[in-house]
Structure formats: C-alpha cells, structure tokens
Chain A
Amino acid sequence: MRAGETNNSGVLDELPGDLMMWVLIVSELLVFGAGLAAFLGVRVVDPDGFAAARNYLHPALAGLNTIVLITSGYFAARALDLSKGQRQSSVRWNLLWAGLLGAVFLAIKIYEYADVAGQGISTETHPFFTFYYLLTGFHALHVLAGMVILALVSWKRTSRNVEVGTAFWHMVDLVWVLLFPVIYLLA
C-alpha cells in the first residue's frame, strides 16, 4: 500500500463508529439543508405571506417536541455509553426510553398536523405549508424509522448495533435542531 493511501485511510479511521453511517448523516444533512435553504429562498419573494402562514403553527408545541427529542437523544447517548460496560439491561432500558420519547414526539406531531389540517390548510394552501408538510413530514418518517431501528437494536444488542442505531437517532435529533428554528421561529 502506498503512503498516500495509508494517510487517507487514517483520516477516515478517525471517525467514530461506522463510516457508512457518517455517509448517511452527511447525505441527510445535505437533503434537509437544501430543503431549508429553498424554504428561505422562496420566502424572499413573499415574506409577509410566510409570516402570516407561520401564525397557524404552534411554536410552543414544536418547542415541547424539541425538549422531547433532545431528551430522547440523551437516553440514546446513555445507552451507547453503557453498552461499553457490563450493564446490558440498562442499555435496553435506555434504548426503550429513547424510542418511547420518539413515540411522544410523533404523537405531538400528529396532533399538530390534525390541528393545522383542521383549519383547512393543505400543501396547496401556500408555499410555506408545502415546505412545512414536506420537511417536517420527511423528518417524522425518520423518527418512525429510528424507533424501529432502536427497537431492533434493543432486541439484538451488540456494541456495534447500539453504536450504529444511536448514531441514526442522533442524526434525527441533529436535523430537528436545524429544522425547528428555521420553520417555527424564523419564518
């Protein structure tokens, strides 16, 4: 192996966890990042319309969901830390708490969607709501996928599975902390 190849491998080896999970994390950040930039780009031509549309949302509920998801990430981080030791039953409980809080996040999100849709608002009402449903809906699907992954990982617990599963969950958390302020606080 040539010296250059060794160095390249060394840089990648510094990344904690699975390389493919980092490829997924960067891919997801690019997709949601493009969506958020497009959201604010479209807002440029209609800032008043976007401000009026945002009044139909519930920033307090979204703020509560932020606390729920951050706390869920805390349990996932604890699970990963515990998985490196001997307390395997605690790993399972922390993973289950993380997943349960994911379910709470989705329940609040469904309530929010029902309330907004109940006001007769759809994806066609205004470009704000097209992006709102698209970005938050796509994120909610990731939460659902993350819950399934956490359940599988708590069933088939190995330190590698826990590392990959919790990394996916933190990615969902990471996307939300960027998505929440742009859609609910800035628009």
Chain B
Amino acid sequence: MTFDTITRAWFGLLFLSAASVLIAAGFTETLGAGATGGLVLVFAWMKARVILSRYLGLWQAPVWLSGFNWALGLFCLLLLGLFLIPEVSP
C-alpha cells in the first residue's frame, strides 16, 4: 500500500463523515426521516468498508472483505429497519 492510497482513504472518510452530518443536520425535513436515516447508514457502511479494506488491510483478502461487507451491510439494514419502525407505525 502506498501513502497515496492511505491519503485517499482518509479523504474519503472525511468526505463521508461530513456528508453524514450535513444530511442529518440540513436535509431531514426535505428528504424525510426514512431517506435521511438510510443515507446516514449507507455512509456509515461505506466508512466501515474503507477502514476494513484500506486501514486493516482486507484489500489483500477479497473473500474476507466480501464477508465483512455483507455482514456489515445486513447489520446496517437491521439498524435501518429498527429506525423506521416508529416512522411507519400508525
């Protein structure tokens, strides 16, 4: 891995974090709580992928990276489902 890859990962994480905060702070009323929650969790999942792949080195082990991606993706879907229950309840 080169410094360029590490630096790109860092910029990516900063961008995704800023996007999460901006969407949660400024677009909840426009997009609705469901879409905002979905986007925030997608960004969290993407950040986790960057850390696992680039910082923890799983880019060298594609099978494990894919397994972690699926597990974390399903976990984020579970969180989104729990978050949306009160939104869709009468």
Contacts and interface: CB of A to CB of B under 8 A. Distances in A.
Interface of A: 11, 14-17, 25, 33, 36-37, 40-41, 43-44, 47, 59-60, 63, 66-67, 70-71, 73-74, 76-78, 81, 166-167, 170-171, 173-174, 177-178, 180-182, 185-186
Contacts of B41: 181, 186
Nearest to B2: A81
B24 A185 contact: yes
Contacts, number: 110
B31 interface: no
Contacts of A174: 48, 51-52, 56
B64 A15 contact: yes
A37 B51 contact: no
A173 B51 CA distance: 8
A66 B17 contact: yes
Interface in B45-85: 47-48, 51-52, 54-58, 60-61, 63-64, 75, 78-79, 82-83, 85
Given A70-B13, A76-B55, A77-B54, A37 B82 contact: yes
Contacts of A17: 56-57
B44 A78 contact: no
